[in-house]
Structure 1
């Protein structure tokens, strides 16, 4: 399959093979599954770690867990940016500008954690 249309023909063959595989898998599933699967009486109730469900299905979550998760992601991203900077810091061409940019970056994040600390977001109460 050479030429301009050869790559389109190859793409068409790959897509056709994918569709054929998809249809064959679902056809085999339809042929091999039981016609009327046995359903015990409690099969469709929610599973809660082996404990019978009690009450309704709506529950309120504490917002502080989301704040902890958000702060974790924020400082994990900070670490992702700090490590490559530390690796290339001593290479030629990365002088005072690199230090100043990273100082601004760390200062903004430090202000964020200082704000969270002052608002007592980081306490488990």
Structure 2
């Protein structure tokens, strides 16, 4: 009789510890989806600058590394319109290139994380 009580107690303890165990550590070499990174970068830019909806869409695609033609196809606009909206994003952010825009997004994201800590 004591054996079944002991095994039931051990089973309950095992169940409890598995439910409340510390989460597995995050692997530093685990793959990260680009969309996850972009999703993390967007709020800092959108919060800081007043982008229209189309500018936000263009911004997201620029951060994903898409060219003007691809952006135009994805959004159903002309390449000229895509370049115009990119120009507006660069003007509002006071950047002159896609690379500078990515650096700005990273800096704003880092500042936002520090502010939350």
TM-score by length of 2: 0.30
- Return the structure number with greater relative CO, CA threshold 8 A, min gap 6: 2
TM-score by length of 1: 0.28
